């Protein structure tokens, strides 16, 4: 549905307005500007019905690529090929005329997005109802709040039967109710086979919806592949630093497992095993509701201030379900003379039947309560939950009860 080949975009940056005039007079014989390339030699393809997430720090080129795909910008080099109708949720409401009513803007924008007059008439009330702005649809947009503008813009864009939906942080606006409504609408479009290109800083959203992730770094692709691995690499490179402000690096697993790992070399998780009724090891089967144990061993240097070991249970898409550490458990970890630590966690597998993995991290907490990553082992152990009788829906069992009141 989308084919991007050797895509690059360049902007000319002038120090002052007079340099623009000089540049036009010299007609290229002399350069009065600096070149800025937000996107350089980017190539990728997106197949039909695929949901692809674009992640990266601010200024990495995510929004520029989306604007190039949508035709808002023209590439300096390279080519873009798309198939079908594109609905873009970029700067919601930026195309509205503030002097026109919401009704007029709805018709104009829906027409620009490719809907016929008959289709607009057929879907008009659905769009208005989804936006939730009521009788304000007949008022000039200049009287709308920013939230009302966003609601109307999203409603229009999501009802155009697009083959490709491009979303740039559109889900970060509006209140909680509106965000939930947007997610429900996007989920429905995904189920209908719409191809989705999503930009967001919410890594859980990426893990939940995306089949693939593209990590952009300084205008180039740093990673293209599995959402779980891609988001972990991004977080490790942009957020995780030790107390000396030295970025962590990607390592081999210290346990010998084939999982993703990051660390600073100041310490390491050396072993992890799950203990259940069925046995013990790096992968076990547990019964729903069974109490299981997790034994973790680590080794630290003498430079440590306050060691913390954190466990996080994730589902098959990498979504965080439960996190716990020795500090929450009221335990201070004390290493032996060689710097070895051993801790045992226990938790109830009150989860829906399915596959789960545990990510472990070793941190050093200084006296200012700053948490500094030392070692992170992603999905180092895993377990499968089985059940006999289903007695709750979704993922986690919150021990619900139902009583009849007379």
Place of tokens 């962590």: 248
Superfamily of domain 241-386: abc- transporter (atp binding component) like domain (2.70.50.60)
According to the model, what pLDDT value does residue 257 have? 60
Average pLDDT, the chain: 88
According to the model, what pLDDT value does residue 341 have? 96
The answer to whether the beta carbons of residues 377 and 255 sit under 8 Å apart is yes
According to the model, what pLDDT value does residue 245 have? 41
Contacts of 76 (CB under 8 A, 6+ apart): 8, 9, 10, 37
Lowest mean pLDDT among 61-70, 147-156, 246-255, 300-309: 246-255
Place of tokens 């939730």: 132
According to the model, what pLDDT value does residue 242 have? 39
User: Rounded mean pLDDT of 101-117?
Assistant: 91
Q: At what angle do helices 117-131 and 102-112 cross, to 10 degrees?
A: 130
Distance CA 83, CA 86 (A): 8
Place of tokens 């545990």: 358
A 10 A CB-CB count for 151 gives 26
* pLDDT (tens digit per residue) in 140-196: 999 998 778 888 888 888 888 889 988 887 665 566 777 777 788 888 888 889 999
Domain extents in the chain? 1-84+163-239, 96-160, 241-386
* pLDDT (tens digit per residue) in 343-366: 999 999 999 999 999 999 999 987
* pLDDT (tens digit per residue) in 227-264: 988 998 898 887 654 334 445 566 655 555 667 888 88
Q: Is CATH 3.10.450.50 the right assignment for the domain spanning 1-84+163-239?
A: no
Q: What's the whole-model pTM score?
A: 0.78
Give backbone dihedrals phi and psi of 172, rounded to 5 degrees, phi first: -90, 0
According to the model, what pLDDT value does residue 263 have? 85
Distance CA 262, CA 238 (A): 13
**pLDDT above 90 (res 202):** no
**Strand pairing report for 279-281 and 307-314:** unpaired
Q: Given phi > 0 = left and psi -120 to 50 = alpha, else beta, which region is 351?
A: beta
Place of tokens 């109830």: 348
A 10 A CB-CB count for 23 gives 17
Identify which of 88, 345, 67 has the alpha carbon closest to the alpha carbon of residue 196.
Answer: 88
Write out the two tokens for 374. 């030392």
């Amino acid at each position: 549905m989308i084919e991007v080949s050797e895509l690059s975009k360049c902007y000319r940056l002038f120090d002052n307005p007079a340099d623009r005039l000089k540049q036009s007079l010299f007609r290229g014989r002399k350069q009065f500007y600096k070149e800025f390339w937000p996107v350089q030699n980017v190539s990728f393809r997106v197949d039909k019905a695929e949901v692809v997430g674009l992640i990266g720090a601010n200024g990495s080129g995510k929004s520029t690529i989306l604007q190039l795909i949508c035709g808002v910008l023209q590439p300096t080099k390279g080519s873009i090929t798309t198939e079908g109708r594109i609905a873009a949720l970029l700067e919601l409401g930026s195309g509205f005329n503030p002097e026109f009513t919401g009704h007029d803007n709805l018709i104009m924008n829906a027409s620009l997005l490719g809907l016929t007059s008959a289709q607009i008439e057929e879907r008009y009330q659905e769009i208005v109802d989804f936006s939730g702005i009521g009788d304000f649809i007949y008022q000039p947009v200049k009287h709308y709040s920013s939230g009302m503008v966003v609601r109307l813009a999203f409603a229009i864009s999501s009802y155009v039967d697009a083959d490709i939906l491009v979303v740039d942080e559109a889900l970060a606006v509006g209140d909680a109710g509106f965000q939930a409504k947007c997610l429900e609408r996007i989920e429905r479009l995904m189920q209908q086979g719409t191809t989705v290109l999503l930009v967001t800083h919410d890594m859980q959203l990426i893990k939940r919806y995306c089949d693939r992730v593209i990590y952009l770094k300084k205008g180039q692709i740093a990673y293209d592949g599995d959402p779980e691995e891609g988001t972990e690499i991004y977080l490790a490179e942009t957020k995780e630093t030790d107390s000396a402000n030295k970025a962590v690096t990607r390592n081999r697993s210290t346990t010998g497992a084939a999982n993703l790992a990051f660390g600073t070399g100041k310490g390491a998780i050396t072993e992890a095993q799950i203990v259940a009724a069925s046995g013990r090891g790096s992968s076990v089967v547990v019964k729903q509701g069974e109490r299981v144990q997790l034994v973790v061993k680590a080794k630290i240097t003498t430079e440590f201030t306050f060691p913390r070991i954190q466990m996080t249970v994730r589902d098959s898409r990498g979504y965080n379900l439960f996190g716990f550490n020795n500090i929450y458990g009221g335990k201070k970890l004390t290493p032996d003379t060689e710097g070895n630590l051993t801790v045992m966690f226990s938790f109830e597998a009150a989860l829906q039947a399915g596959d789960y993995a545990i990510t472990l991290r070793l941190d050093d907490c200084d006296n200012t309560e700053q948490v500094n990553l030392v070692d992170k082992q992603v999905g180092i152990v895993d377990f499968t939950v089985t059940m006999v009788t289903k007695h709750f829906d979704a993922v986690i069992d919150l021990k619900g009860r139902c009583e009849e009141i007379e």
